[in-house]
Amino acid sequence: MPAIALYLQNDRPARAEEFEKAAIFFIDGHRGSPSDMWPVYSGQDLLEPAKLYGPESVMNLGIFAHGTPETFGRPGRFGVSTIKQPKYESLEAFAALWGPVLAPNAIVSLGCCLCSRDPKWYRIQLWGKDVSAWSPKSYGDGGSRSVAARLVRAFEAFAPKRGVEVRGHCAAGHTIYQALLRSHLYSDHEGLGKSLFGLVGCGNTPEARKRWQSVVRGELAAKWLCGVGGALHAVKGAV
């Protein structure tokens, strides 16, 4: 089944190159499957490629762009959003096109900043009211109102009972090698995210978190985010 990568190119050259490299990593990880890379220059570019694929034909969809807890695309310019904004496509429109082409148990990888974060958390930390907002404890399970969790619920509406999983970032400075990640499944309390930390099964202690971050990083984290191979099994074996 095809692996599809959408990557932002309407940006500064250095950023565009970063997103393209992430898309190439994603496609290389699914070598052996049919695959396509689609550059993104507008919000419509995030939607239109879905029309080229048949029902339940895509197993892995990767999106590599900027992000916030409510959007992915290019901030202030265009993208997909959970709230109504000029020049942004709705999350429902995105799910209406991509949902039907996703295969059962498909993985959608959001290689975009903060897509698994709750907007309320972001507003609190943005204004500096919670000095512990970026502490390791804040990377636990959660993000039920994030764009990643809402996307899971939107997929369920347009493609019910497919078991689509959305994986996303909890941090900014997003490169795909960032280890602070969450998984969202509709069957898990309608998309409430489970941290990679929790999926690995580390104890919630400072020592465990330190060891976890030293193990679940780099290419191993990137492979998990992109749904490549047995990355989670490898992480569990290393912790």
pLDDT, tens digit, for every residue of 140-193?
Answer: 778 899 999 999 999 999 999 999 999 999 888 767 888 788 999 999 888 899
Quote the pLDDT of residue 137. Answer: 61
Q: How many other C-beta atoms lie within 10 A of the C-beta of residue 144? A: 18
Quote the pLDDT of residue 237. Answer: 63
Quote the pLDDT of residue 106. Answer: 97
What backbone phi and psi angles, to 5 degrees, belong to 47? -105, -45
The three-state secondary structure class of 29 is: helix
Weakly modelled stretches of the chain, pLDDT under 50: 131-133
Distance of alpha carbon 9 from alpha carbon 20, whole angstroms: 8
Quote the pLDDT of residue 221. Answer: 86
Quote the pLDDT of residue 131. Answer: 46
pTM of the model: 0.91
Yes or no: say if 191 and 184 are a contact pair by the CB < 8 Å rule.
Answer: yes
Instruction: Count up the domains in the chain and report the number.
Output: 1
What domain range is 137 assigned to? 3-238
